[in-house]
């Protein structure tokens, strides 16, 4: 769909609920109420009021808006883009940890997806005006959400050494209800880790560790729904990364600075 280029100069004119300048603020009470959240789970509504980072086509930070505003299809169709992250956790048997999103989730409830996926917020340490600091901000956000969703507690040192940056991808998609969608630049991390889990049931309905063969069989099963962002990862990256991990050659796949667009 054709739309004007979104810039720091015009973003607040095109999207009045975008806030400039970007500043550390994560008080959900500052977010403009979104009518489309009426009737949604209380905790998920609170999380949808968190402030995400708005970026332009070159991924420069140009403002912030609530998670709800970022995921409304009416805004996505007009070009609003935000920053995100995804984590793929593998245990020492090279099994991938998948989660099934909780029924309470506003977008893609009950869909299978990668280990953890969410957003850097407009809070200290998670913003980034250039590629390196944006990647570090996404890594800190991943550390925060791994604890929130799965009870995985990483020290800052562990997050720096064990959350392996792989690449970033930009994609857009619409949810089946015609109200919500995605349009985000996602920083992807691979986490080789054996860990105990403490599942947040408001976030995750089910989870499982799968070998490459088990995952392939599950992925072929058309009765199993998978999120669109995970499908992009499966199609574009996962086979090569999984093979490299099994072969002890993961470093050859890491730190790809390219901005993939799907």
**Residues catalogued as catalytic:** 117, 184
Quote the crossing angle between the two packed helices 238-246 and 228-236, to the nearest 10°.
Answer: 60
Beta bridge mates, 250: none
Alpha-carbon gap, residue 34 to 28, rounded angstroms: 12
Sign of torsion over alpha carbons 190, 144, 183, 181? positive
The answer to whether 77 and 4 have CB atoms below 8 angstroms apart is no
Q: Is 67 left (phi over 0), alpha (psi -120 to 50) or beta?
A: alpha
Residue 25: how many CB atoms within 10 A of its CB? Answer: 13
Residue 28: how many CB atoms within 10 A of its CB? Answer: 14
Residue 224 Cα distances to 51, 84, 215, angstroms: 32, 24, 11
Beta bridge mates, 65: 52
The answer to whether 8 and 62 have CB atoms below 8 angstroms apart is yes
Say which residue the tokens 């409304």 belong to.
72
Sign of torsion over alpha carbons 179, 172, 16, 34? positive
């Amino acid at each position: 769909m054709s739309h004007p280029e979104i810039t720091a100069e015009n973003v607040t004119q095109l999207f009045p609920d975008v806030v400039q300048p970007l500043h550390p603020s994560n008080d959900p009470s500052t977010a403009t109420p979104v009518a489309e959240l009426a009737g949604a789970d209380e905790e998920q509504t609170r999380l949808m009021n968190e402030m995400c980072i708005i970026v332009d086509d070159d991924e420069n930070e140009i403002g912030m808006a609530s998670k709800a505003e970022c995921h409304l299809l009416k805004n996505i169709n007009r070009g609003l883009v935000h920053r995100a992250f995804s984590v793929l956790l593998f245990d020492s048997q090279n099994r991938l940890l998948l989660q099934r999103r909780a029924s309470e989730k506003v977008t893609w409830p009950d869909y299978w997806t990668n280990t953890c996926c969410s957003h850097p917020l407009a809070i200290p340490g998670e913003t980034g005006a250039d590629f390196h600091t944006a990647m570090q901000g996404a890594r800190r956000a991943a550390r925060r959400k791994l604890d929130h969703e799965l009870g995985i507690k990483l020290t800052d040192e562990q997050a720096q050494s064990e959350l392996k940056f792989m690449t970033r991808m930009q994609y857009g998609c619409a949810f089946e209800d015609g109200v919500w969608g995605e349009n985000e630049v996602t920083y992807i991390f691979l986490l080789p880790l054996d860990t105990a889990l403490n599942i947040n049931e408001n976030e995750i309905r089910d989870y499982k560790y799968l070998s490459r063969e088990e995952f392939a069989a599950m992925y072929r099963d058309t009765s199993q729904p998978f999120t669109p962002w995970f499908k992009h990862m499966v199609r574009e990256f996962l086979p090569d990364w999984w093979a490299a991990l099994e072969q002890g050659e993961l470093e050859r796949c890491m730190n790809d600075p390219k901005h993939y667009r799907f």
